[in-house]
Structure 1
Amino acid sequence: MADSLCRLCHLPPKTTSQTVEERGKWGSKKEFILSVAGAIIGLGNVWRFPYLCYKNGGGAFFIPYILFLVTCGIPLFVLEIALGQYTSQGGIMCWRKVCPLFEGIGYASQMIIFYGNISYIVILAWAFLYFFSSFSGQLPWATCNNTWNTDSCVVLNNYNITANWTFPVNSSSSVMEFWQRRVLRISDGIEAIGNIQWDLSLCLLLAWVICYFCVWKGVRSTGKATYITATFPFVMLIVLFIRGMTLPGALHGIKYYLYPNPARLADPQVWMDAGTQIFYSYAICLGCLTTLGSYNKYNNNCYKDSFYLCLLNSGTSFISGFAIFSVLGYMSQKQGVDIHSVAESGPGLVFIVYPQAVTLLPWPQVWSMCFFLMIILLGVDGQFAGLESIMTSLTDIYPSQIRKGYRREFFLLLICAICYVFGLLLVTEAGAYILQIFDHYVCSGPTLLLMAIFQSVIIGWIYGAERFSDNIADMIGYKPLSLIKYCWMYSTPLICSGTLVFLILRHSPLRFNNSYVYPWWAYWIGWFLAMSSLMLIPVTVVYKLAKEKGTFWQRVKSSSRPADDLPVMAKEMANICVPLRVSDLDRPEQQ
């Protein structure tokens, strides 16, 4: 009766309220929106999407991109945000509540995030080094008068190059030498680890300190940090966009970026690139979105928020293409080379092409600082979102052990320290080789595709797409589109399975810069890293079945059953008052 009176007077039960206060909620809806925007809008929007669009048919690339967005990206995005909000649990406990048999999906996703935290933060260390170097009187990569330069160094701005601009005959550019001989100090192979570079290790430490203090108070600090880390990159992107569009030759670059070539749609690789870009840039299947959604109020319209955030993500990718290719068009015209000679993706764009481009602009130090500050903030957002996901998962499993006193801060410090120590391998002379191993095997398309298949099948068929639609309706007042439900059941698992099969059939051994072949043991390390996360799913299934009693089918059914208190727990954990219906007053208390 006490709980009913609490619902009648719009007060939550006392014990539940205390639990919710310990876990915390977003201070406002803005904090949730900015946190998710920071988690999903990252380097992939800047260094991957524009190049893929240019390479795969310009404007025609939007056809497969939008198809994958509608059938896979948005449905999975809605699924994860809504799942976190409904259960008020992080990336592991949410699966224990809806389908205990596949709790291993949560463990696998957190393991992938852990590996990602170790590896991707080294990009922030590189960006910090470039950012600090931008304060010099002359950009160090714009000259050949440095201690790391060789006799074959050339300043490309002084040449009218007709070949590949990064490698003139018997020469190497000053930008390339700064990247390889000053920043990476790259060795001959992964077997030659070499020494830890003290400057990069300090930049890496700085990145971890920033991430720690963004997360150390949970959503109270994470939400406030995003007011800067999630908004400032948009300001920088708009500044770079305006500056790029006013440069001579900008329209030449935009033409290459958007001019449609429908013939490219006949190439299956174009469709694969569109699918992998959706998974790469939307942060789905990693548990981050579930964690961020779990701090929402129960009746927040997560369905509408998801559409707005997806639109923001894809719109940012589209606009960043103008900012990037307008500068590349100017660079192409200034140096007298074709656009394909300067268009590049990934780290090559951020640390080779764009640094070269800013040397052609007036006040190059200012534009270099703006660009790398944007890169740093884009990376920091995604990094501390992953860190928050790990901490939320741990505190949800062991709330009484971690949430007391300063234990959360201590555990967070311990995780950051462990990741930093492992990350020192990536700032050695073989760090670039090791990073590619992590990127290719751990956070790659096949791994995320398998996670997407598992998630959509579990929600669509085991838990029930109709039941989950009813859960969303219970939160926001109406059901999602039937298209979303059918995507969970059919489109998403089928399309992801087809994409996975294609990637397996097209598999080829990993190479560094298309030339260096890794030793056999490096490939085994890569497969070990990939399987160490995915194997947690079948291992957990076996453990759950072994723990149950009865026949095999009875064990499967009992371990697949959602938690009995899921709806009640979800509403109470969300710290809202469920209005008491008039008819309830005439019935005896049921609980």
Structure 2
Amino acid sequence: MAEQREVWGSRRGFIFAAVGAAIGLGNLWRFPFQAYRNGGGAFFLPYIVALFTCGIPLMILEYTYGRKVRGGSTKAFKLLGKKYEWIGWLQVMVPIIVMMFYSTIISISVIFMVWSLAHAFGIVNWMSDPGKLMGLIVGGGTGPFDFAAGISKYLLGFVIVVWVGNWIIVKNGISQGIEKASKIFTPLLMVMMIAFMINSVRLPGAILGLNELFTPDFTKILNPNIWVAAYAQVFFSTTLAVGVMIAYGSYLGDDWDIVNNSFITVFSNASFDIIAGITVFSTLGYLVNTMGVDFNSFGSGAGVAFIAFPIAVSTITTNVFLQGIIGFLFFFCLFIAGLSSSISMLEAFTTATLDKFNIKREKIVGLVSIIGFLGSACFATYAGFNFILDIVDAHVGQYVIATLGLTESILISYVYGIEKIRLEANEYSDFKIGRIFNFLLKYLTPGVLGITVISNLVSGIKKLIDLNGTDKPAFMGQIVFGWGTILLMIIFATIFYNKKWKKSEEED
């Protein structure tokens, strides 16, 4: 007798978990600066089109197929054919790699939370010049091979907090672990971000930032790169094609409404994108207005959250205690965003492993957490955080995830049958999806993702050729840490693929 598979305790708990998985630290800066660089307000048209033609259809596909097979990515692809199981293992290698460096970024939120409390009680005074604290945390180095530069004791120490949080939540399972945590984290995250957005638009100079973000440049709307960027933003921000949503879908009740749940998940994530955009650019407008700097002074990555916002908080009020408390709440908000995504990544690999191997959840979660922490320790080195992190992130995001999304949409559409997916999704849904769904996933989504994969590969090769002639250390960094990481993922996917299934019938 097969063991009864756990299911989500409530629709609300599932939605909060799925939305929490999709929302992460990257939303806070990736969407605002994608819009800023790609036509401002004009970027919203291709973005909205991408939501309807790629984000929602793929979400419906992953939820439906995950529920159908009652398993994670490895089981899902294996049931398409034994040879396809390997693709499922490669999918769940992505969140393991991402968690290793993502946890170091989350740990900075924890550090800033602690320093904010210290600021509130007058122990330290750092908010007006957060660059010094960032320098203390992440150090320096000359390149990806400069391990002699040392390791950050701050990153190494606080990343333990992140991994302990992952371990505690995921080891307790779906309903008692992830669902309970998500019911608290996700609504709290949304409420806090809305509060910060409302406060940011009240700042003097906020209108300067909002004009930068929303003023449309319609001359760019016909540029194909803008459309590719919009599809890439939707695809990556919704955590598709890395095993997370298939795993979450596998715990859905048999008669749950998949179509509505998919719309809610995707639009909640998109709402957070827009809230983050308003918050970031209102704050930057305020800083431009008061400090006389330009909009690129704080970069377009972690610098926005970890440099610009402490400065903004310090100028909201002159009360040191309130500065510290507001700062604590903001970085607690970032911590929640990061942790909710992190636990979903750990669950993607956990579900895949539990499907194939006779191992207890507590054991596999504990083992992966230990291995993950050791990987995070590598990124906690100054060379790791300042150089290797960007290399690994770019290669996994640009080459592996896009390729997996392309492969997934083609295989499930043509091998399993996209019409079967549509009918199964519609069976218990309040409103039905039509045959346009089939067209999108059989032709449009693979076409867009195919263009993305090819353009990324071409630009990557050109960059390697240029680096080989101008910067040998950077060239070797791309080879060793970029393509080397992809090779390691392929090797471990192959090792897991070649292991025997726990049951003789192989879950057929």
CA distance in 1, matches of 2:33, 2:311: 17
Residues 454 and 534 (structure 1), Cα distance of their counterparts in 2 relative to 1, 3 Å cut:
farther
Question: Given residue 377 of structure 2, which amino acid in structure 1 is its aligned partner?
Answer: L
| Native 8 Å contact 2:260 2:430 kept in 1 | no
Q: 1:100 to 1:470 in 2, by over 3 A?
A: farther
User: What RMSD over aligned residues (CA atoms) do the two structures have, in Å?
Assistant: 2.7
Q: Is residue 259–residue 426 contact of structure 2 (8 Å, CA) maintained in 1? A: no
Structure-1-length-normalised TM-score: 0.77
The one-letter amino acid of 2:134's match is W
Say if 2:373 is the partner of 1:417. no
| Equivalent-residue separation in structure 1 for 2:494 and 2:441 (angstroms) | 22
* Contact 1:141 1:175 (C-alpha < 8 Å) held by counterparts: yes
Aligned residues of 1:184 and 1:431 also touching (Cα < 8 A) = no
Whether 1:211 aligns to 2:211 is no
Aligned residue number for residue 446 of structure 2: 493
Matches within 5 A, 1:444-455: 444-455=397-408
Instruction: Work out whether 1:439 is the aligned partner of 2:398.
Output: no
CA contact (8 A) 2:63 2:246 kept: yes
The aligned counterpart of 1:319 is 275
Alignment partners' CA distance in 2, 1:386 and 1:277: 18
Within a 5 Å distance, the mapping from 1:319-338 to structure 2 comes to 319-338=275-294
Assess, with a 3 A threshold, how the Cα gap between structure 1 residues 95 and 477 changes in structure 2: closer, same or farther. farther
CA distance in 2, matches of 1:221, 1:201: 25
**249-258 or 498-507, which moves further after superposition?**
498-507
Q: Please state if 1:344 is matched with 2:304.
A: no
State yes or no: 1:184 paired with 2:138: yes
Kindly indicate whether residue 78 of structure 2 is the aligned counterpart of residue 96 of structure 1.
Answer: yes
Q: Which residue does the alignment assign to 1:83? A: 65
Shift of 1:49: 0.6
1:285 equivalenced with 2:250 (yes/no): no
Task: State the Cα deviation string for residues 7-44 of structure 1 (Å, max 9, x = none).
Answer: xxxxxxxx45xx11xx3111111111011010001112
Q: In 2, distance between residues paired with 1:320 and 1:352? A: 16
Deviation track 1:509-542 (CA, whole Å, cap 9, x = no partner) reads: 3899xx987444322221021244357889999x
2:482 maps to 1:521: no
Q: Which residue of 2 aligns with 1:365?
A: 324
**Cα distance in 1 between the residues matched to 2:496 and 2:438:** 27
> Secondary structure of 1:461's match?
helix
Q: 1:291-306 maps to which residues of 2 (within 5 A)?
A: 291-306=247-262
- Secondary structure, counterpart of 2:193 in structure 1: helix
Q: Gaps spanning 5+ residues in structure 1: where?
A: 1-14, 144-173, 548-562, 567-591
1:96-495 equivalent positions in 2, closer than 5 A? 96-135=78-117, 136=119, 137=122, 140-142=125-127, 174-180=129-135, 182-193=136-147, 194-219=149-174, 220-338=176-294, 340-342=295-297, 344-362=299-317, 363-398=322-357, 401-402=358-359, 407-432=360-385, 433-442=387-396, 444-474=397-427, 476=429, 480-495=433-448
Q: Which residues of structure 2 form unaligned runs of 5+? A: none
Taking the aligned partners of 1:208 and 1:345, their CA distance within structure 2 comes to 27
Question: Which residue pairs with 2:7 in the alignment?
Answer: 25
Q: 1:534 to 1:68 in 2, by over 3 A?
A: farther
1: CA distance between counterparts of 2:335 and 2:17?
16
Tell which structure's C-alpha radius of gyration is larger.
1
User: Taking structure 1 as reference, are residues 502 and 54 closer, same or farther at Cα in structure 2, changes over 3 Å only?
Assistant: same
Q: Is the 8 A contact 1:104 1:539 kept in 2?
A: no
Would the aligned equivalents of 1:472 and 1:478 in 2 still touch at CA under 8 Å?
A: no
Amino acid at match of 1:233: L
What is the CA–CA distance in structure 2 between the aligned matches of 1:140 and 1:441, rounded to whole Å?
38
Where 1:190 maps in the other structure, the secondary structure is: coil
1:44–1:280 Cα contact (<8 Å) kept: no
What's the secondary structure of 2:79's corresponding residue?
helix
- 8 Å CA contact 2:280–2:304 kept in 1: the answer is no
| Cα distance in structure 2, aligned partners of 1:195 and 1:41 | 32
- The question of 1:65 aligning with 2:47 is answered yes
1:70 Cα offset (Å): 2.4
| Displacement of 1:470 | 3.1
The letter of the residue matching 2:201 is M
Identify the structure with the greater helix proportion. Answer: 2
* Aligned partner of residue 230 in structure 1, secondary structure: helix
Cα distance in structure 2, aligned partners of 1:477 and 1:70 = 18
Structure 1 position 504, deviation (Å): 2.4
Alignment partner of 2:307: what SS?
Answer: helix
Corresponding letter in the other structure for 2:376 = G
Mapped partners of 2:395, 2:487: distance in 1: 9
1:370–1:453 distance in 2 versus 1, CA, 3 Å = same
Per-residue Cα deviation, 1:232-274 (whole angstroms, up to 9, x for no partner): 1112101101111211111221111111111122444322321
Amino acid at match of 1:274: A
Distance 1:138 1:336, change over 3 A: farther
Check conservation: 1:459, 1:488, Cα contact below 8 A. no
Letter in 2 for 1:213: I
- Assess if the C-alpha contact under 8 Å between 1:103 and 1:540 holds in 2: no
The code of the aligned residue for 1:463 comes to Y
What does the per-residue CA deviation read over 1:165-194, in whole Å, with 9 as the maximum and x for residues that have no partner?
Answer: xxxxxxxxx4333322x0101222222213
Deviation at 1:195, TM superposition (A): 2.8
Matched letter for residue 166 of structure 2 = C
Q: 1:79 to 1:334 in 2, by over 3 A?
A: same
- The whole-number CA distance in structure 1 between the counterparts of 2:416 and 2:315 is 57
Give the Cα separation in 1 of the matches to 2:124 and 2:34.
29
Which one-letter code corresponds to 2:388 in the other structure?
I
- Measure the CA separation in 2 of the matches of 1:414 and 1:448: 25
Residue 34 of structure 1: aligned partner = 16
User: Partner of 1:160 in structure 2?
Assistant: none
* Contact residue 32 and residue 276 of structure 2 kept, 8 A: yes
Which one-letter code corresponds to 1:108 in the other structure? L
TM-score normalised over the length of structure 2: 0.89
C-alpha displacement at 1:503, in angstroms?
Answer: 2.1
Task: Summarize the Cα distance change of 1:564–1:533 in structure 2 as closer, same or farther, 3 Å threshold.
Answer: closer
Secondary structure, aligned partner of 2:73: coil
For 2:78 and 2:56, locate their aligned partners in 1 and report how far apart those are by CA, in whole Å.
24
Measured against aligned partners, the alpha-carbon deviations of 1:477-520 in whole angstroms (never above 9, x if no partner) come to 886321111111111111111122222233353899xx987444
Cα separation, 2, equivalents of 1:235 and 1:470: 36
- Structure 2 CA distance for partners of 1:329 and 1:417, relative to 1, 3 Å: same
Distance in 2, matches of 1:273 and 1:176, equals 30
Q: Which amino acid aligns with 1:43?
A: L
